[in-house]
Structure 1
Amino acid sequence: MSRLRSGHWLALATALIALDQVTKWVVLSHIQLGETIVVAPFWNWVLAFNTGAAFSFLSDAGGWQRWFFTGLAFAIAGWIVVMLRRHASDLHLSLALSLILAGALGNVIDRIRFGAVVDFIQWHVAGYYWPAFNVADSAIVGGAILLALTQLRPRPASGDHA
């Protein structure tokens, strides 16, 4: 495989941000707040606005959390861009970081535009409902899992991380 550059990873993150925003645009155009569309026995489309973080953490904090989470996401995004430049040829690490970057910025766009994150995927089983989420959230979770797995893999003795 040819040597990957940070620009490739940033392009992937940009494409995922676009996918996230398009899906949110479709949901905002077709689902009303409080409406539920059953997709499968375990899966609904809904429209929810989350002013907090994961699992609505700090959602009732009074508004300051919007800018706190926005600033935090920008700080993390800056760090990730630096890491992508340093480790662009590390496939697994860079993929994980690109997913996290896309998710963080996808949700920041919502916070800036709407004051809350647009969530619309709802999974449930036996009357228990997982909090609604979106494509950006999925990218963050997938990236975090891959990042954890990347840290568990054996490293070459020479220190070469490619």
Structure 2
Amino acid sequence: MSIRLGVLVALAVLVLDQGTKTAVLAWSDNWAGPMHVITPFLDFVVLWNAGISYGLFPQGEAGRWVLVAIKVVAAVGFAVWLARTARKVEAFALGLLIGGAIGNAVDRVVYGAVFDFVSLHALGYRWYVFNVADVAVVVGVIILLYDAFFVRASKTPPSGSSPKAASDPAGHPPA
């Protein structure tokens, strides 16, 4: 059943997200500085995102709760969508979105901001700092977009044509 898949994925994302955040926060107390080098292209940092995305538009206390409400409404909306789908790929993607939204909402409720810690960089360029919930949301959106534009769209007949008009019962094209 697709709803089970979506719920299990959402729970897995939530547990993985909160578990990694808790572990990195505890571990960061032992770091010599604000950053810990993991590989030549990956660092762990402690970054509290009080903004919407990428630290943009930092929010005060009222904004914090508005963002929590938006994430909860999004998670509920995705859950309604999940309950209505029978497609496993869609359920999987929706589970990623639900788990990611709830994971970051938990941070805002508990800490007042989202904890981001993964910092990728190469050739002098640094990308934004993110967490497991952010990755789940991005991957969920990519799966839904790919499914909508390439998988489902390829199965939809062109408008104005019907399968019956395309050929007669013997398989001959219309005259």
Could you say which TM-score interval applies, normalised by the shorter chain?
A: 0.7 to 0.9
Once the 2 structures are TM-superposed, how far is the Cα of residue 12 of structure 1 from its aligned partner? 1.7
RMSD: 1.8
Residues paired across the two proteins, number: 153
What SS does structure 2 have at the residue aligned with 1:52? Answer: coil
1:151 to 144, 148, 152: 148
Aligned twin of 1:53:
52
CA contact (8 A) 2:5 2:91 kept: no
Aligned twin of 1:14:
11
Once the 2 structures are TM-superposed, how far is the Cα of residue 43 of structure 1 from its aligned partner? 0.7
Aligned twin of 2:61:
63
- The list of structure 1 runs, each at least 4 consecutive aligned residues, that deviate by more than 2 angstroms after superposition, is 61-65, 154-157
**1:141 is aligned to 2:135:** no
Give me the whole-angstrom Cα distance separating, in 2, the residues matched to 1:91 and 1:120: 31
Once the 2 structures are TM-superposed, how far is the Cα of residue 46 of structure 1 from its aligned partner? 0.9
Once the 2 structures are TM-superposed, how far is the Cα of residue 128 of structure 1 from its aligned partner? 2.0
Give 1:41-120 correspondences, 5 Å limit.
Answer: 41-59=40-58, 61-87=59-85, 89-120=86-117
What SS does structure 1 have at the residue aligned with 2:129? Answer: coil
Question: Percent of counterpart pairs with the same letter?
Answer: 34
Give me the whole-angstrom Cα distance separating, in 1, the residues matched to 2:37 and 2:14: 26
Q: Deviations over 1:77-134 (max 9, x none)?
A: 11111111100x2122111111111100000000000000011100112222112100
Give me the whole-angstrom Cα distance separating, in 2, the residues matched to 1:5 and 1:149: 19
Give me the whole-angstrom Cα distance separating, in 2, the residues matched to 1:47 and 1:72: 24
Stretch deviating more after TM superposition (5-14 or 35-44): 5-14
CA contact (8 A) 1:96 1:142 kept: yes
Q: Which amino acid aligns with 1:52?
A: G
Give me the whole-angstrom Cα distance separating, in 1, the residues matched to 2:10 and 2:60: 31
Q: Which amino acid aligns with 2:84?
A: R
Once the 2 structures are TM-superposed, how far is the Cα of residue 16 of structure 1 from its aligned partner? 1.2
Aligned twin of 1:160:
none
Q: Which amino acid aligns with 1:72?
A: I
Give me the whole-angstrom Cα distance separating, in 2, the residues matched to 1:94 and 1:5: 6
Q: TM-score, normalised by structure 2?
A: 0.81
